[in-house]
Copies of this chain bind each other. A is one copy, B any other.
Amino acid sequence: MLRKNRLFTPGPTPLLPAAQTAMASFTAHHRTADFRALFQRVLVDMKEFIGTQNDVLVLACSGTGVMEASVSNLTSPGDKVLVLTAGKFGERWTGLAKAFGCNVDVLSVPYGQTFSLNDIRAKLTPDVRVVFVQATESSTGARHDIAGIAKIVRSNGDDTLLVVDAITGLGTTHLDVDGWGVDVIIGGSQKALMMPPGLAYCAVSDRAWRRMESTTSPRFYFDLRKERKSAAKGESAYTPATSLFAALGASLDFIRGIGKGDLAKGREGLVDNAEMCAAMTRAGVQALGLKLFADSPAAALTAVCSPDGIDSGKIVKEFRESFDAVVANGQGEMKGQLFRIAHIGYYDYLDTIGILGALEHVLARTSGTDVEYGTALRAAQGVYARGLSNKQQLIGA
């Protein structure tokens, strides 16, 4: 049987066809009026997509590049920072902050869990200069309570900044960047924007811009103040990834279309879509007797515990070999113990039902036991059908 290569990984995610064609056909030089017009339009649209009045920058790098930018631009060596970590991407904050000589305090919870707000409160002394956290931890599928965390950080005063890695969170979970007072929010192109990797972006608050006037950590390519100055003139500081900007323009048009002309509504539509794919998937895997890994599962992806005695690598391999469907293994210390199915961006009903159908065969083959076909599917169909009859429940669920 034919097997179409299909990504169910939490980035890269499936590509929007309109973004692919825009990317393939774009040839303009980056120091031309044509590109400047595209660049400026994209930066304006990105503010609406993120839902912020703060300046937005889009850089030619992966998400980790902008994570680094938020460390190198907002801290000086010796600054005390607090990292909230619950997985591999939380650990990346620790690594980055240490690399730039920060005095790193870490609040760590086991993989799959999220933070107690009281524990954060207890850690947050007045001398903490920056708090780093993920909106959703892609390695475990957990969603963190950014609204609650922001409230605590903001009550600590304007000297404490909040940096949120929302690389998988933007477009999959509700985020009120300005209302909650998030100082830097970070995203990447290969996620809800439905395009290839290569661009990462951030929105930066006035508090954060002021901080950069005094910080002394070394930065050059990721010097956000230089980039902001160029952007004000309609250009990037260094050569931009032009074809990816063209793809981004097409993706933003598509998202505006979802919102019937309103980009912010389109983003919320994407969130609702991920919520539905995730709810169908959670119901499906649980109907098969499988356990969810995260206590507070994100809509970005569903992390599923591998059945007892089965290395999740076998499940990932079977998905690829039998269906050419790429699901993700556990990361870091969870490798072999869980597999992850993404819902970020360009997924629909048929994708979701299809991968759950495939999962039933994969489980039967890897476990060597009988699986009652249709079990996960029926549960997912029920979620879909109930969702339609109760729209209220779906929006911002």
Q: Which of B346, B357, B361, B364 contacts A2 (CB 8 A)?
A: B346
Is A261's CB within 8 Å of the partner chain B? no
Complex Cα–Cα for A164 and B171 (A)? 52
**Which residues in B have their C-beta under 8 angstroms from that of A296?**
none
Contact B378 A373 (CB under 8 A): yes
**Which residues in B have their C-beta under 8 angstroms from that of A61?**
none
Contact A351 B348 (CB under 8 A): no
Q: Which of B3, B360, B377, B378 contacts A348 (CB 8 A)?
A: B3
**Which residues in B have their C-beta under 8 angstroms from that of A276?**
1
Contact B350 A325 (CB under 8 A): yes
Is A238's CB within 8 Å of the partner chain B? no
Is A375's CB within 8 Å of the partner chain B? yes
Contact A381 B354 (CB under 8 A): no
Complex Cα–Cα for A258 and B4 (A)? 12
**Which residues in B have their C-beta under 8 angstroms from that of A351?**
4, 350, 354
Per the 8 Å Cβ criterion, residues 341-397 of A in contact with B are 346-351, 353-355, 357-358, 360-361, 364, 372-375, 377-378, 381-382, 384-385, 387
Q: Which of B273, B323, B375 contacts A374 (CB 8 A)?
A: B375
CB-nearest residue of chain B to A375:
B374
**Which residues in B have their C-beta under 8 angstroms from that of A270?**
2
Contact B350 A323 (CB under 8 A): yes
Complex Cα–Cα for A273 and B349 (A)? 23
Contact A1 B381 (CB under 8 A): no
Complex Cα–Cα for A21 and B17 (A)? 11
- Starting from the known contacts A2-B346, A353-B358, 14 additional A-B residue pairs (CB-CB under 8 Å) come to A1-B276, A2-B273, A2-B347, A3-B349, A323-B348, A324-B348, A325-B350, A349-B357, A350-B351, A350-B354, A351-B354, A361-B381, A374-B378, A377-B377
A interface residue numbers (CB < 8 A to B): 1-4, 6, 21, 24-25, 258, 270, 272-273, 276-277, 323-325, 346-351, 353-355, 357-358, 360-361, 364, 372-375, 377-378, 381-382, 384-385, 387
20 CB contacts below 8 A, A to B, read A1-B272, A1-B277, A2-B347, A2-B348, A3-B349, A4-B346, A6-B350, A324-B348, A349-B358, A350-B350, A350-B354, A350-B357, A353-B354, A353-B357, A361-B381, A361-B385, A373-B378, A374-B374, A374-B377, A374-B378
